[in-house]
């Protein structure tokens, strides 16, 4: 769980990021989860677009995806979700809080 200042910092970092994936009518697939997990390991912070064609509420879809990724849901802004998970890589410059 983040403090409000930590969450604000992560949201500000994510504001200039482009979404790396879209969740659409196919929903959450195993390949999507694997790809996003790899991206989290490489970057720690990612943004994903939640398309209306997914048929689910954006907030619920983002929470389900965060559980599958073992990541923190930083924010859902409109149809965009931001996720954070600390990387386990060695010699990696982690996001400082």
At 2-20, the pLDDT tens digits run 999 999 999 999 999 999 9
Compute CA 57 distance to the chain's CA centroid, rounded to the nearest angstrom: 16
Give the per-residue pLDDT at 22: 95
Give CATH for domain 4-84. Answer: 3.30.110.60
Q: State if pTM tops 0.75.
A: yes
Q: Which segments of the chain does DSSP mark as H helices, in order?
A: 4-14, 30-43, 58-69
Domain residue ranges in the chain: 4-84
């Amino acid at each position: 769980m983040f403090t409000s200042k930590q969450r604000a910092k992560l949201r500000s970092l994510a504001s200039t990021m482009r979404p790396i994936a879209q969740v659409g009518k196919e929903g959450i697939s195993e390949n999507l989860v694997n790809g996003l997990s790899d991206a989290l390991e490489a970057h720690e912070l990612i943004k994903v677009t939640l398309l209306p064609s997914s048929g689910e509420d954006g907030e619920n879809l983002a929470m389900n995806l965060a559980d599958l990724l073992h990541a923190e849901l930083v924010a859902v802004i409109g149809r965009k979700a931001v996720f954070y998970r600390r990387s386990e890589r060695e010699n990696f410059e982690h996001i400082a809080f």
